[in-house]
Amino acid sequence: TGTQYAPVQDLALASKTGHATNIIAGLALSMRSTFWPIILISSAVIISFVLAGLNHFAKFGMTSGYAASKGIPMPKAAVALTGLMLVFGGVGMLGGVFVPWAVLSLCLFLIPVGFKMHDFWNVQDPQQKMIQMLFFLRNIALSGASLMMLMIPQPWPMSFW
């Protein structure tokens, strides 16, 4: 952070106009430095939704068999529907189109699936209990992350819509 760098010079200039301007300029500088990492991390999470949805179809027999073992009625239809929900939610958020509907689709998938498919409180084996608890918490955390996408003003600057 030498004085020869433009961001440092801009921040030093802002500090001459007062405390509030210095705080605002500092926040703006920090947001610029985190923009691309946030975009990359968000994109990776969103792409994982699309890949998980496609995986529902690529391993349809296995996923519908697992759904049947958990007592899901009409497991093949449920796996097809949830696969579509994941793909729609991921593509919608990645492209910035129909974002509220995409978020709703993901939350309607993540929360019920967390409670029904990853019910760690019903698992007796300690190792499986821990694994299911991690999956459950992941689903709840990802639903919260999806809901945070609603806080970004729409239309998104880099959306396809």
What tens digit of pLDDT does each residue of 105-154 get? 999 999 999 999 999 999 999 999 999 999 999 999 999 989 988 888 77
pLDDT of residue 160 exceeding 70 = no
State the pLDDT at residue 88: 97
Q: How far is CA 79 from the centre of its chain?
A: 20
State the pLDDT at residue 24: 82
Cis status, amide bond into 155, omega within 30 of 0: yes
* DSSP assignment string, the chain: --TTSHHHHHHHHHHTS-HHHHHHHHHHHHHHHHHHHHHHHHHHHHHHHHHHHHHHHHTHHHHHHHHHHTT-SSHHHHHHHHHHHHHHHHHHHHHTSSHHHHHHHHHHHHHHHHHHH--GGG--SHHHHHHHHHHHHHHHHHHHHHHHGGGS-SS-TT---
* Whether 116 contacts 100, CB under 8 Å: no
State the pLDDT at residue 1: 59
When pLDDT is cut at 50, 70 and 90, the band that residue 12 belongs to is confident
Only one residue has tokens 């910035």, namely 96
Question: How large is the average pLDDT for residues 87-114?
Answer: 93
When pLDDT is cut at 50, 70 and 90, the band that residue 18 belongs to is confident
State the pLDDT at residue 122: 96
User: How far is the C-alpha of 123 from the C-alpha of 132, rounded, in Å?
Assistant: 8
pLDDT of residue 159 exceeding 90 = no
State the pLDDT at residue 68: 97
* Whether 14 contacts 25, CB under 8 Å: yes
User: How far is the C-alpha of 93 from the C-alpha of 87, rounded, in Å?
Assistant: 10
